[in-house]
Amino acid sequence: MRTCFPSLCLVNCLIVEIQNLTKIYPSKLPVTAVDGLDLELEQGEIFGLLGPNGAGKTTTISIATTRTLPTSGTIRINGIDVVQHPAHARRMIGVVPQFNTLDRSLTVYENLYFHCRYFGFSHSTAKSRSLDLLTQFMLTERKSVYPAQLSGGLAQRVQIARAIAHRPAVLFLDEPSAGLDPQSRMAMWSAVQELHKEGITVLLTTHYMEEADQLSDRLAILDHGRILALGSPEKLKSTFGAHTLFDLKLKSRASLDPLLASLRAHPGVTNAEATSDGLRVLAVSADGLLSDLVQAAAPYGLRDLQITEPSLETVFIQLTGRDLRE
């Protein structure tokens, strides 16, 4: 086990270590939410967990933030085992949950102030820290407002301010842009990037690939509780081939096999497969392919053709065979 002294070690320090993490929710039909997950986060990076609903992202975050107990495996935050020492681990982490969990009985300022008090700040330190955060997150005008009166975007900002108030080493953001309008989403992204500049490590889950692509230094694509791919967005796109995706909708799907075989033999095409309403072609190069595709598919009654440029989504579809937002 490596532990990390941020003041001494600026590169390649492991701040989050997840080893062989498994979570099975017991019931008549036990659900395996996380299946032997291994993951390491380095000091100061923004790490994205990308996957469709039910991939195990939220369960992983819940275990890391001590709200769920794992069936097996360990998570260490800054060297502290979250199952063995949950109360102590909580001092290392800040959490922005999927839903608004702000204290409805307290004002925005008091939410921050009492959060600081829970973490051992004195009255004067808690007060100055809360006022600083209100300024930093442009919430000063709303300091006396109750959470129920805040819009989704503003509540999210207060939640982020609250999560970092006690200066945690790692910030967990669970679907931070779910339910936010585009403007609030942009504001949230810039807030996260600001925190990143301050050196905080961020683990965020999302099923928006643009979010993962733009925010993350590294990301893991998760499905069925397992990591399918791990690396920087650029690395993932290049490793798994910067594929262009052609989705063809056909009137007739009878005897598609010869067509699939001929397409697979086409230079630049890495794979061609039947889908529920036609076929899907993954190609490294799109040059000249489009006209060949249209010609080859014409006898089958080509109704529609959709081209998706290389992106994390095409990487995901290549890995799992299904859409990210299914």
Partner 1 sequence: MNNINAGNRDQGTGISHLRPAIFFQAFIGLFLRDLRVLTREFLPFLLRVGMQPLLFLFVFTFILPRMSTGNPMAIAGGVDFGTILLPGLMAVAIMFSGIAAVALPLSSEFGITREIDDRVMCPLPLWAVALEKVCFSAMQSIIAALLVIPMAYYIPAKPVVAHITSWFLLALVLVLASLLAGALGLVIGSTVNPKQIGLVFSILVVPITFLGCVYYPWMGLFQNIRWLSIAVLFNPIVYMSEGLRAAVTPGIEHMPWWAILIALVFFTAVLGRWGLKGFLGRVQS
What is the binding site for partner 1 (CB under 8 A)? 3-7, 25, 62, 65-69, 78-80, 85-88, 90-92, 95, 97, 99-106, 110-111, 114-115, 117-120, 162, 166-169, 199
Closer of 126 and 209 to partner 1 (Cβ): 126
Closer of 87 and 254 to partner 1 (Cβ): 87
CB of residue 159 to partner 1, shortest distance in Å: 10
CB of residue 223 to partner 1, shortest distance in Å: 22
**Degrees, nearest 5: CA angle 219-221-225:** 125
**What sign does the dihedral 68-74-78-83 (CA atoms) show?**
positive
Distance (Å) of CA 42 to CA 13, 19, 47, 177: 5, 15, 9, 23
**Residue with tokens 């096999």, as numbered in its chain:** 257
Terminal C-alpha separation, the chain: 38
CB of residue 18 to partner 1, shortest distance in Å: 18
Closer of 81 and 217 to partner 1 (Cβ): 81
CB of residue 85 to partner 1, shortest distance in Å: 6
Tell me the C-alpha distance between 197 and 176, whole Å. Answer: 19
CB of residue 155 to partner 1, shortest distance in Å: 11
Closer of 27 and 255 to partner 1 (Cβ): 27
Q: Which amino acid is at 229?
A: A
List 14's β-bridge partners, or say none: 42
Tell me the C-alpha distance between 96 and 157, whole Å. Answer: 10
Tell me the C-alpha distance between 99 and 109, whole Å. Answer: 19
- Please state the separation of Cα 205 from the chain's center in Å: 2
Closer of 56 and 278 to partner 1 (Cβ): 56
**What sign does the dihedral 187-191-194-200 (CA atoms) show?**
negative
Distance (Å) of CA 30 to CA 37, 56, 57, 71, 72: 18, 14, 18, 12, 15
Closer of 50 and 203 to partner 1 (Cβ): 203
CB 225 within 8 A of CB 58: no
- Please state the separation of Cα 82 from the chain's center in Å: 21
CB of residue 12 to partner 1, shortest distance in Å: 16
**What sign does the dihedral 81-82-84-88 (CA atoms) show?**
positive
CB of residue 128 to partner 1, shortest distance in Å: 15
Closer of 109 and 240 to partner 1 (Cβ): 109
Tell me the C-alpha distance between 16 and 164, whole Å. Answer: 17
CB of residue 3 to partner 1, shortest distance in Å: 5
Closer of 22 and 68 to partner 1 (Cβ): 68
